[in-house]
Structure formats: structure tokens, C-alpha cells
Amino acid sequence: MVMGVVSWDHIVLVTLFLVFFILSDLELCNGGITSSYVRNDDLSLDMPIDSDVFRIPPGYNAPQQVHITQGDHEGKGVIVSWITPEEPGSSTVLYWAENSQHKSQANGFFLTYKFFNYTSGYIHHCSINNLEFDTKYYYEVGIGNTTRKFWFRTPPRIGPDVPYTFGLIGDLGQTHDSNRTLTHYELNPTKGQTVLFVGDLSYADDYPLHDNNRWDTWGRFIERNAAYQPWIWTAGNHEIDFVPELGEPKPFKPYTNRYHVPYKASESTSPFWYSIKRASAYIIVMSSYSAFGKYTPQYKWLVKELPKVNRTETPWLIVFMHCPLYSSYVHHYMEGETMRVIYEEWFVQYKVDVVFAGHVHAYERSERVSNIAYNIVNGLCTPISDQSAPVYITIGDGGNLEGLATEMTEPQPSYSAYREASFGHGILDIKNRTHMYFGWHRNQDGYAVEADSVWLLNRYWISSERSSVAALR
């Protein structure tokens, strides 16, 4: 009995000491949060080629790998793409609005390509234009007994206070973890309406001879989502497929044949950089693996592009590219530095709200910082708090076969607000012209759980004196 009383006091004392110790430790911490969660670092294996997620749809020459993306600048157009394996069949898409008897058709085209010893199926691309905003459409591809029917919903008419929800997925690949990421995105109670994909799609180039059959399995894997909502594409390093020793010296061959984007609608000259408007967002896609120095086509395009953004029409300015400009992980450390030096100043000047990237197989969110004062002689090269700067979010945690980037630079730099090496996806939920909510979801959690979340207040519409980030944890 006496022993019991003594033990209780002891426990209370130890608990008080621990609380004091933890609080002191938090107080002294310079950077943000490095999550204590440590995933076991077993590499995730690709799903076997005969997995149900890669199933070939039944029927002779049935269309497969069906996916859609935005087809114009405003959101009234859709590009439908699919592959027929045996013969060209038809490149026509039949489509009709829900509750409408009238069926329209759009005529596309097909192409094929060879990659070393691989010959592609017939890759169809068909643009549907002048759709009504905020309308559910059904569409059908294929002919004869092997037609397949899908649907999508066009975005609302562009306007400053139009709510819209984007999903963020990057570096997906086709492992069991990739499948978990996609499932978690699909079952997230906050429903993403469009995926912003930050590059590195199939990881076919990790296979001998860049086995392009793995581009096909990947296309079949994502169809269950990408046939029903647009995926907005960015090219990553795993799309380069530059293999001159195999007689393949032209970069991006499989990617550009398979994934078309509406780059001409934003007066871009290349599918690797372009912009779209969607609901209340203006989205600029950049290419980490195309020339971006001064006088290059990408540079000249962005010089003209940024002043075109009308924040009264589309308050949210979102930029994404594959390689992060701010990342405190050891893997790929400072790979984005050359692009940061050239473009960060513009992101601050034009008050970009958020910059998404992938490449680093982990999650990280930055504070609002800039590092643009340096001029070779002044020595000012430390990131500083800057309320005109974007938040940088690395979301390259889709779950590919290369595994997670677990090693982090220490101590956590002050620009890094939260970092964790776990697979997952993001949800960017625009509420109105001033408020947008971002949540990061880990695959090991329940579908509704947010491991990190933040309110992002619009850089154009919110006075710079107000705090940019109000963490909800």
C-alpha cells in the first residue's frame, strides 16, 4: 500500500519533468516540424503484370488506358485519349450531356510510335470543345461490340469566388503503394475534381530497355480515375526516356505521344510548359527538364504569361513543376537551385500563392520565404520570411518503386514548416477568393485523416500584414 503511494508520486514527478522537457525542447527548435513518424524503408514492389488493376478490358480491340485532360484555356474543352491495341478502329468520341437526348461526336486522330523493340498500340487523341460549364457529360469510345462509356463533369464558369477542389499527386509509379495512394485519393471524403500531377508517371524507364509495356500497364492502372476527371500533366525526369545507346535520342518520346496537353491555348510553343484557367485558379505548368535560362522559349513564354493573370478573374495563382525549388531532403538536394535563381523573383513579384513540385519522394511544406536579395557581392543569400512569397509544397510521395527519400538535412532549416517521408497525396480546396485549404493525407492513415494541413490566404486579396499561414493542428 505504502509502495503504491510512493510509486504514484514518482509517476507524477516523472510526468511533470517530461512535460517540462518536451515544452523546453519545442521552444528551442529553430525550424518547423520533422514528423517523428518513420516508415520502414522496404522498397515498394511494382504490382505484378497480371494484377487486376492492369486488366485489359474485355472484347476485341477494346479501348484501354482512357484518360482525359483539360482541352482549352477556360475549361470548356476536354482532350480524351485512349489506346486500341489491335487495329486503329475509330478516333471518334460520342458525347452527350446528362439529361440530354442529343448525342454529338468529335473526331480525333491516332498515332503510333516505336521505342527500341517496342511498338505502341494505336494512341487516339480527340478534343471536345465548347462544352457547357458545370455539366455532367457522358462519353463513349470504341466501335462495334467493344464500346466503353465514361463520364466527366466540366468545371464551373470561371469566377473569383468559385470553389473548386484539386488533388495533388506526384511520382506515382505502379507499386502497391501507388495503388494505395490512388485509392486514398478516391476515398478521401473531400472529393478532388481534377488532379494536378507533378510529374514522374509510370517509371517504365526503371525497367530494362525502358520497357514501354509498363507505360501501358500504368495507363490501365490510372484509368479508373483519369477517365472521369482531368489530370493536368507535368513532365518529370522519368518522362525523359533519353537513351541514344538504344537508338532513342529524342527525349520525352513515350510521354509526348501518350499524354497530350492544351499548350497552344496559352500560346506556348511546347507541351512542357503551358497554363490553364479552371474555376477560380490560374495554373501555370513549368518544365524542370527543358531549357529555362534567359532567352529560352520557356523563359520568354513566362515573361509574357505572368502579366496576363487577372487576379480579379482568377484570384489563385498556382505554379507547378517537377523539381522543387525548396527542399530540405538530402536526395536531390539543390537540384532546383538554378530554376529558383531565375524564377523565384517573379513568383514573389507576381504573388504566386503556392508552388507544387514532386521529384523528392516525400512530403514537405515551406513557410512563406524568399531568397532573392543576393547579387554576387552583397552576401545576402539566406531565405527570409516574405509575405509576398509562395508556399512551396513537395508532394512527390505517390509511391513508386524507388521508395521514399528518408534522409533529411539537419537541423531542419527555418524555411521548412513540416516534412515527413511517407507516401500520400494532397487536397487543395479553394473556398473563395481569399481562403484555400490544403491537406496532406498519408496512406497509412484513415481516408479522412490529415497529417498536415494549412489555410492558405490569397496573396493578392489578403493584406500582406496578415499572417499567411494559420496551421490548424
Among the options 67, 176, 210, 332, which is catalytic? Answer: 332
Q: Rule CB under 5 A: choose which of 77, 142, 236, 424 binds Fe ion.
A: 236
Q: Are 219 and 67 a contacting pair, CB within 8 Å?
A: yes
CA distances 462 to 104, 165, 436, Å, are 44, 20, 12
Name residues whose C-beta falls within 8 Å of residue 164's C-beta, 6 or more positions apart in sequence: 155, 156, 193, 194, 278, 279, 280, 281, 430
Looking at the Cβ atoms of 200 and 241, the one nearer to Fe ion is 200
| Shortest spacing between CB 427 and Fe ion, in angstroms | 22
Piece of 3-11, 198-206, 240-248, 255-263 that binds Fe ion (CB under 5 A): 198-206
Site residue total, Fe ion (CB under 5 A) = 4
Piece of 55-63, 121-129, 192-200, 262-270 that binds Fe ion (CB under 5 A): 192-200
Give the cell for residue 242.
533519353
The answer to whether 400 contacts Fe ion (rule: CB under 5 A) is no
The answer to whether 200 contacts Fe ion (rule: CB under 5 A) is yes
The answer to whether 31 contacts Fe ion (rule: CB under 5 A) is no
Based on the residue annotation, tell me whether 67 is a catalytic residue of this protein. no
| Shortest spacing between CB 403 and Fe ion, in angstroms | 13
The answer to whether 288 contacts Fe ion (rule: CB under 5 A) is no
CA distance 47 to 177: 9
CA distance 209 to 377: 48
Looking at the Cβ atoms of 236 and 262, the one nearer to Fe ion is 236
| Shortest spacing between CB 188 and Fe ion, in angstroms | 24
Q: Are 150 and 64 a contacting pair, CB within 8 Å?
A: no
| Shortest spacing between CB 200 and Fe ion, in angstroms | 4
| Shortest spacing between CB 103 and Fe ion, in angstroms | 42
Count of CB atoms within 10 A of residue 446's CB? 10
Q: Are 404 and 361 a contacting pair, CB within 8 Å?
A: yes
Looking at the Cβ atoms of 226 and 323, the one nearer to Fe ion is 323
Q: Rule CB under 5 A: choose which of 214, 359, 361, 433 binds Fe ion.
A: 359
Residue pointed to by grid coordinates 537551385: 337
Mark residue 369 as left, alpha or beta (left: phi above 0; alpha: psi -120 to 50; beta: remaining): beta
Helix (H) or strand (E) holding 169, with range, is: strand 164-169
CA distance 63 to 90: 10
What is the set of active-site residues? 332
Residues making contact with Fe ion (CB under 5 A): 200, 236-237, 359
